């Protein structure tokens, strides 16, 4: 009898295993898995397939690529990062007068010594490099985009000798390139904006030893974002509160989506469309973005943020809200008149003049857990359906963008 019961159990087990295999073959896990929570820390790599076809590197490109593996500096001064630290990524091009202002503002941020600052360069410029090397207030790591058009003066992704220019007729001129939807050929200086952002995102999340296994939020700022002293503590509070106060929020922002606004000053948290000044999200959200690599890389728009607003975020299905405080903790500045007006509260740098006011409430954490959340719906801005401003029609740029998406996927999964 015992033998018969044993054989019966074996047969039942085999039948169950067979049924499981059949179900999985009919419905792969990737197809039936539920949408992960934005707080889940989900870390599965989406498969994009295809080869990683990157341009041949110059000596400078190879040297910078190698330097990207160097450990952070100032570890002798700050040997330990806080357990709950939020890594800060500052991405820059070549505006040293702006970078000095941002670095000085970061040096005054409460809690900055607890975290890692990663500075991502689009191109190599001695003055920019020198400014970053002078940072002594936290651990700091520099990375340089090795395929920046600024590193290739006479070949793609820079300017190739036979490239079409402006509105050249490729067939008649016997030149290379695909025009955008408005008939204009690529400009390396313009396409570098989107290339750098996408290379940086893939590298920071998936290519650096320092961020491997980091499932928490990472904060992204630019060289023309002034950061207030309370920014880091406010962001930590927002990240802690987000799962309870706004579980469907994808991100936490330091500033309103309206770059001219200093906030409402209310006693409430704000949920609104995701802005591009001082934005942070976790690895789960990055995986959702990475799954839309083809949409990002093939949309004819040279601005990364407009591409995200009009193609990537709408593809998530739900509105992409971010959580922020009622007062800004970061301000976008730049040449007056470019992004901001000339009102008395506007903030800008022009000809070296600097006029961003820091008030007492900008120096202390002013995000409170007992506040309710005020939701802004139907805000103005770029939406799904916008066709883009162009500048991104050349198939070489699109393929390079896709190659950035596959760089570390290939390394992690063994894909060719």
Binding residues for substrate: 122
Neighbours of 279 (CB within 10 A): 23
Going by C-alpha positions, the residue among 290, 254, 246, 300 that lies closest to residue 271 is 246
| Both structure tokens of 176 | 């290379």
Going by C-alpha positions, the residue among 176, 392, 370, 234 that lies closest to residue 300 is 392
As a whole number of angstroms, the distance between CA 407 and CA 55 comes to 13
As a whole number of angstroms, the distance between CA 200 and CA 119 comes to 10
Question: Is the torsion defined by CA of 361, 367, 368, 371 positive or negative?
Answer: positive
Query: For residue 49, is it left (φ>0), alpha (ψ between -120 and 50) or beta?
Result: left
As a whole number of angstroms, the distance between CA 259 and CA 322 comes to 15
Q: Which residues does the annotation place in the binding site for Mn(2+)?
A: 224, 332
Going by C-alpha positions, the residue among 51, 149, 171, 170 that lies closest to residue 94 is 149
Residues 6+ apart with CB under 8 A from 146: 57, 61, 62, 64, 65, 68
| Both structure tokens of 105 | 């503002």
As a whole number of angstroms, the distance between CA 369 and CA 344 comes to 32
Q: Which residues does the annotation place in the binding site?
A: 122, 224, 332
Radius of gyration (Cα) for the chain, nearest Å? Answer: 24
Residues 6+ apart with CB under 8 A from 350: 335, 336
């Amino acid at each position: 009898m015992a033998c018969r019961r044993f054989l019966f159990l074996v047969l039942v087990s085999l039948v169950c295993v067979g049924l499981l295999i059949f179900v999985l073959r009919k419905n792969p896990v990737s197809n039936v898995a539920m949408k992960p929570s934005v707080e889940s820390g989900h870390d599965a790599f989406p498969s994009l397939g295809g080869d990683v076809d990157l341009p041949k590197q110059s000596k400078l490109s190879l040297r910078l690529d190698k330097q990207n593996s160097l450990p952070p500096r100032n570890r002798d001064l700050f040997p330990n990062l806080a357990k709950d630290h939020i890594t800060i990524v500052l991405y820059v091009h070549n505006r040293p007068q702006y970078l000095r202002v941002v670095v000085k503002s970061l040096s005054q941020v409460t809690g900055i010594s607890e975290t890692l600052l990663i500075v991502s360069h689009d191109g190599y410029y001695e003055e920019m490099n020198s400014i970053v090397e002078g940072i002594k207030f936290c651990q700091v790591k520099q990375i340089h985009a090795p395929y920046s058009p600024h590193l290739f003066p006479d070949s793609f992704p820079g300017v190739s000798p036979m490239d079409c220019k402006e509105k050249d007729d490729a067939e008649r001129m016997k030149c290379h390139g695909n025009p955008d939807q408005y008939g204009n050929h690529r400009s390396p200086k313009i396409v570098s904006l989107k290339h750098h952002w996408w290379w940086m995102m893939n590298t920071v999340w998936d290519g650096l030893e320092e961020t491997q296994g980091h499932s928490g939020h990472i904060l992204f700022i630019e060289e023309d974002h002034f950061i207030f002293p309370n920014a880091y503590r406010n962001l930590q509070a927002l990240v802690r509160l987000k799962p309870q106060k706004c579980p469907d929020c994808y991100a936490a922002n330091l500033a309103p989506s309206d770059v001219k606004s200093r906030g409402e000053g209310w006693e409430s948290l704000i949920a609104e469309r995701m802005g591009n000044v001082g934005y942070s999200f976790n690895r789960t959200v990055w995986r959702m973005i990475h799954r839309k690599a083809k949409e990002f890389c093939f949309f004819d728009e040279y601005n990364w943020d407009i591409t995200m607003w009009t193609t990537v975020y709408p593809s998530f299905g739900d509105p992409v809200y971010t959580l922020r405080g009622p007062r800004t903790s970061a301000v976008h500045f730049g040449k007056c008149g470019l992004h901001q007006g000339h009102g008395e509260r506007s903030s800008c740098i022009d000809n070296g003049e600097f006029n961003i006011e820091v008030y007492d409430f900008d120096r202390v954490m002013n995000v409170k857990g007992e506040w309710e959340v005020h939701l802004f719906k139907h805000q103005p801005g770029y939406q799904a359906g916008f066709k883009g401003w162009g500048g991104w029609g050349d198939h070489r740029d699109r393929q390079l963008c896709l190659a950035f998406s596959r760089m570390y996927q290939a390394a992690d999964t063994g894909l060719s």
